[in-house]
Amino acid sequence: MDDELKIALLTEQWHVNRERGASLMFKKVLIANRGEVAVRITNTLQQMGIVAVAVHSQPDRWGLHVRRADEAYALEGESAADTYLRIDRIIDIAKSCGADAIHPGYGFLSENAEFAQACSDAGIVFIGPSPDVIRKMGDKMIAKTTLADAGVPVVPGYWDDGNADVATLEKQAERIGYPVLIKAAAGGGGKGMRVARDVKELRSGLDVARRESVSAFGDDRVFLEKYVASPRHVEFQIFGDSTGRTVHMFERECSIQRRHQKIIEESPSPALTPELRDEMATAAVRTAQAIGYEGAGTVEFILDESGAFYFLEVNTRLQVEHPITEMRLRLDLVRLQIEVAAGLPLPFEQVDLVPTGHAIECRVYAEDAARGFLPSVGTIRHFDAPVGANVRLDSGVQAGDEVTVYYDPMLAKLVVWGMSREEALSRMVWALRRFAVTGVTTNIAFMAKVIGDPAFVRGEYDTHFLDSFAVEDHESIPDEVLVASAMMARDAKKQVHGSQSAATAAASPWRDAGGWRGV
């Protein structure tokens, strides 16, 4: 089939799907989240003509996601446990405002099977996979068993019911061979995870891992797997619909991590050959088909130095780093999530997905890299993001917004695209150098150093890359930032009523510059 005919058929199918979708599509969707992902979802909903409903805690009552939404409702309280994790309250709001569906975003309740089930019980569509799939993939041991039975390569290890005694685990660790990784069965984000290089570390690590797991997940079950010394973290975006069609949307390299949290991602991975990419993609699709996956998800693998790869986990939600996939494929994954949840089929097949160029994402956090990445709180005085061709910013804040202690300190995601990796790297360096935030300290300068590191430029890195990465403590504040802060201080002085000393203390350009780290 020639390209013109293929495009014509796809266009015709697209119109058929959209006409069918007009009667199926939701009229109102509640977003059970906050910050940049809530703003991101709101944008797509409004573009689709769907009413976007926000929920918010007391600290978030003036948040950007609230200001951008069509409707907003308060969740009484301040902490996540009292607000964004309150299943009963969120369901009550969705029912009372007439929401047809709930989009969970990522984090909070996005991978909570109880929440997905509560939505179904209330007659509200959960925009994500079924509760059963979330439940199975949320339990690391069930996931490994399921995928191993489907022929997907998994890391050698030991998992039974997660309650094996110390003597049994010691015997299994000897069989696997040290070092081993102790992991929480219900874990994620590095919680309940410890490396044991001998039997002494195994015993002490088991106690710590179980305590952490109970504290974070209310579940003390653990299992063992072989510790891969210098792994790369490579994930594949998957998508399935109600017709049984399953596709992958290629890979994302996520090895630049700090404390098991990703901070820089890129696509394609500089580590994959075309042959290895095809092999891993096939395994990802096999994974999705084995569990009957619908909607957006991610199959994560670890890749060792020899080129062998192993299944790590399935994230049953949209990923933070989804924009780099969107930029390479020119797709809106949130729109696809909504359409699939409404019963529409995917408007393409695997052969139609042809990525172009290279995309990189940097996560902008309010934290001080020079001081152990301590979170930084306060009022954002100045938020000047770069604007240019093939530069995208997904942000949850603006100047004047408050960064509090209650939630994750991620402010925004800076994403760039280039025809080549070299072009994308150059564009990211340019963008980071022109990203100015004052009032709080950010990791912008730190990420610029990582992006410019010779080893990173060569694509020679793994998940331990940042373990020994040098962070400079004293760096100069660029002139343009001082000028901007001084102007804000001047404007603030005009509004301060009282003594001159009070005005000076309230509006200082040095204070407003925050913990600036120059690039």
Alpha-helical (H) ranges within 122-273 are 131-138, 140-149, 166-176, 199-217
Bridge partners (DSSP) listed for residue 55: 73
What residues act catalytically? 317
Under 8 Å between Cβ of 39 and 103: no
Identify the three-state secondary structure at position 188.
strand
User: What sign does the dihedral 154-155-158-159 (CA atoms) show?
Assistant: negative
For 484, the token pair is: 């901007």
How much of the chain is in helix, strand and coil states, percent to nearest 5? Answer: 40, 25, 35
Pairing of the two strands 71-74 and 101-103: unpaired
77 in the Ramachandran plot: left (φ > 0), alpha (ψ -120 to 50) or beta?
left
Residue 407 structure tokens? 């939630």
**Is 384 in contact with 436 (CB distance < 8 Å)?**
yes
Closest by CA position to 65, among listed 100, 96, 98, 108 = 108
- The two three-digit tokens of residue 458, written as one number: 């060569």
**Backbone phi, then psi, for 74, in 5-degree steps?**
-80, 140
Nearest to 129 by CA among 288, 321, 331: 288
* Token duo for residue 269: 């991975």
- C-alpha atoms less than 13 angstroms from C-alpha of 335 in its C-beta half-sphere: 14
Segments of 207-366 assigned E as strands: 222-226, 232-240, 246-258, 261-267, 295-303, 309-315, 358-365
- Residue 142 and residue 113 in contact, taking contact as beta carbons nearer than 8 Å: no
In angstroms, the first-to-last Cα distance of the chain is 51
Measured CA distances, 464 to 196, 259, 309, 376 (Å): 17, 9, 17, 25
Q: Which residue is associated with the tokens 């979802």?
A: 41
Backbone dihedral angles phi then psi of residue 18, each to the nearest 5 degrees = -70, -35
Among positive and negative, which fits the CA dihedral 284, 285, 287, 288?
A: positive
Cα–Cα dist 152/299, whole Å: 11
- Separation of alpha carbons 10 and 96, rounded Å: 39
**CA separation for the pair 263, 255 (Å, rounded):** 9
